[in-house]
A and B are shown apart, each in its own frame.
Chain A
Amino acid sequence: MSTPQPPMPQAAVPDWQGGTAGSPYGGYTSPIPVVRTHLGHAIASEWTKIRSVRSTMWTLGVFLVLVVGIGLLVAALVEANASEGSLAGDNPLSFGVFGLLLGSICIITLGVLTTASEYGTGMIRTTMTACPSRSRVLAAKAIVFFAVAFSVTFVSVLLVALADVSILSGARSPSTQEWLKGTLGISLYVALLGLISLVLGSVIRHSAGAITIMIGLVLAPLVLALFMFTESLSGLRDALFNYSIPSQMSVFYTTSLTNDGPTGWDPLWIALGVTAAAFAGAVSLLQKRDV
């Protein structure tokens, strides 16, 4: 890219046209070519942002350690303690869920930080000045974050899945559908979970607050259901249990656990619906509120 050298502000400006060219409002005309910006520019900018802060490396690093580390550890433990034929009916991929459950907290944190940290630092004013279309900023952040979160999750989940299949000699070999759900499906689900966190971060505008809410959202239904002993609350208990995020994650590894509650690819569609609704809400809030 060869662009004409723009003048140093202090230096004399030989190519100043005295307002004769360009603007009807007179004044300075820059030698920098005018570009009509679009979503691509915002995406490039957000990509630079996400890769240039340490928190990204930390959260994703911890995520990798948790998912791959715990995944391999569980597989080794199960294989060591398995008796002849005890794993025969098991989907070997399902042992990856433990690491991913913990790891998803990292993705949630990164999602929240992508938006909320800009409010904490004041960077958001710079961002919104550079790109006045607030929906474009949020969309660019969402696209870049989703791509990063999905690829990292997919790679680590795939790694654990391959290890599970080769380590757990006693288990059956998973069907194509199970492979798809246990790698692609769960990775999309976790990345969407992160995306909801990103959107929440943009609404709450406070990192710690948004992370707390998201972790609460993941854990609270399960914990609440755990203590609903009364028979009269059994309906609510089952719903809380079935639709809690950890249970929905396990759906990607099982053919069918219960008759009610989400099955198959349902959790993905639910997450997709929630994300879309949250995104729309966040955009309309962004338009209304002051930065």
Chain B
Amino acid sequence: MIELEGLTKRYGEKVAVDNLTFTVRPGIVTGFLGPNGAGKSTTMRMMLGLDRPTAGDVRIDGKHYDRLKDPLTYIGALLDAKAVHGGRSAYNHLLCLAQSNGIPKSRVAEVLDTVGLTAVAKKKAKGFSLGMGQRLGIAGALLGDPRILMFDEPVNGLDPEGIHWIRNLMKSLAAQGRTVFVSSHLMSEMALTADHLVVIGQGRLLADTSMADFIDRNSRSYVRVRTPQRERLLDVLHQAGVTVVEAGSGALEVDGGKAEQIGELAAQHQIVLHELSPQQASLEEAFMQLTAESVEYHAHTDTPVDQPRPWGEGWNRS
């Protein structure tokens, strides 16, 4: 369990993390979501006692991180894949970590096996690919068999097989009763792994809810309809008091509508349908809607709300 209370970090004038209060509970995967630069990594560094908070408090199972006597068996963290001395072999890297916490040497071989790096255990870390570096970082996090696991953007640089592996790993870790806290800027990734969501934007807490609630609250559900008899269907739907939005390429979208109702109406009036599909706006959209509001809030003063995005932004969000 990780408890944050009014956690704040300022760098001079800039507020990186602004009064965050939330709890990360055991037994589930908690996703920590925010666009790049939202303060996710800073928050995680403060949780690990690397950065000192300007104000507020973080407690790991009720204790401050620097009061933990054997921190690696409490909490395993993957901060960034390359927090490793490149000249050291994977085995020695894990060995020095194990020794610093009195973890039996046998664990090193075990975690190397778990992450699939046994074959390259004696190789220098600088020759590792991004994915292998990520696996080595995960091995370090698992070393103490900790109750809490924290991963900062774990799928970065992993191939599809690796992504699949880490998703299952996080789920199984949570299923064992551990606290799993994972950050990402990809909503789609979170949707597949997280049970609970904490969303921040510009250092502020935007949402702290279960995944299901988040979906219900933030996404729009609608029914998409395609028909060669467009005008007739529009008439019929109007008569039935259903609002229709015209979408591009000849499709119609019925907000909050029920596919059954529309299908039955069409059948009654003998209208041919080419498509009748319930749609849920993607979580990515819901997430962008949520974080956009936090951007808007700041933009009112001097810049127009609808300013174009900087070049390259949003590559990762499609």
Contacts and interface: CB of A to CB of B under 8 A. Distances in A.
Interface of A: 1, 3, 5-10, 13, 16, 18-19, 23-32, 34-37, 41-42, 44-46, 48-49, 52-55, 117-118, 121-133, 288, 290-291
Contacts of B104: 1, 3, 32
B207 interface: no
Interface string B89-100: 100100111011
A28 B73 contact: no
Given A25-B26, A37-B101, A121-B84, A48 B95 contact: yes
B99 A41 contact: yes
A130 B72 contact: yes
Contact of B79 (A8, A49, A125): A125
Interface residues of B, number: 62
Contacts of A13: 176
Contact of B27 (A27, A117, A288): A27
Contacts of A36: 69-70
A37 B177 contact: no
Nearest to A22: B147
A129 B107 CA distance: 18
A133 B103 CA distance: 17
B85 A121 contact: yes
Contacts, number: 174
B110 A19 contact: no
Nearest to B59: A25
Interface in B63-92: 65-73, 77, 79-80, 82-89, 92
B238 to A, nearest CB: 55
A27 B140 contact: no
A121 B146 contact: no
A19 B145 contact: no
A268 B68 CA distance: 38
Given A3-B104, A32-B73, A130-B101, A117 B51 contact: no
B212 interface: no
Interface string B47-73: 011111000000001100111111111
A49 B96 contact: yes
Given A27-B27, A118-B85, A124-B83, 10 more contacts: A1-B105, A6-B110, A19-B177, A45-B97, A48-B99, A52-B88, A121-B85, A125-B83, A129-B48, A129-B79
B173 interface: yes
A30 B147 contact: yes
Contacts of A54: 87
B61 A129 contact: no
A37 B83 contact: no
Contacts of B102: 35, 37, 41
Contact of A23 (B61, B100, B105, B176): B61
A129 B71 contact: yes
B229 interface: no
Contacts of A5: 110
Nearest to B138: A9
Contact of A27 (B73, B79, B105, B179): B179
B239 interface: no
Given A3-B106, A25-B1, A9 B50 contact: no
Given A27-B1, A117-B85, A291 B51 contact: yes
B65 A132 contact: yes
Interface of B: 1, 26-27, 45, 48-52, 61-62, 65-73, 77, 79-80, 82-89, 92, 95-97, 99-107, 110, 113-114, 140, 142, 144-148, 168-169, 172-173, 176-179
Given A19-B26, A37-B102, A132-B68, A123 B83 contact: yes
A27 B72 contact: no
Contact of A28 (B80, B100, B177): B177
20 contacts: A1-B104, A19-B26, A24-B62, A26-B26, A31-B145, A32-B144, A32-B145, A45-B100, A48-B95, A48-B96, A49-B96, A52-B88, A53-B85, A118-B85, A121-B82, A126-B83, A126-B140, A129-B48, A132-B67, A290-B52
A266 B124 CA distance: 44
A143 to B, nearest CB: 14
Contacts of A123: 83-85
Contacts of B100: 37, 41-42, 44-45, 127, 130-131
B178 A291 contact: no
B45 A290 contact: yes
B196 to A, nearest CB: 14
A46 B99 CA distance: 9
6 closest residue pairs by CB, A with B: A27-B26, A35-B102, A45-B100, A52-B92, A132-B66, A30-B145
A3 B99 CA distance: 15
Contact of B26 (A28, A49, A127): A28
Contacts of A131: 71, 100-101
A228 to B, nearest CB: 43
Contact of B88 (A24, A26, A49): A49
Given A3-B104, A9-B172, A122 B95 contact: no
A105 to B, nearest CB: 20
B69 A37 contact: yes
Contact of A35 (B70, B107, B168, B173): B70
B69 to A, nearest CB: 4
Given A10-B114, A48-B99, A52-B96, A132 B49 contact: yes
Contacts of A288: 52
B71 A9 contact: no
A9 B176 contact: yes
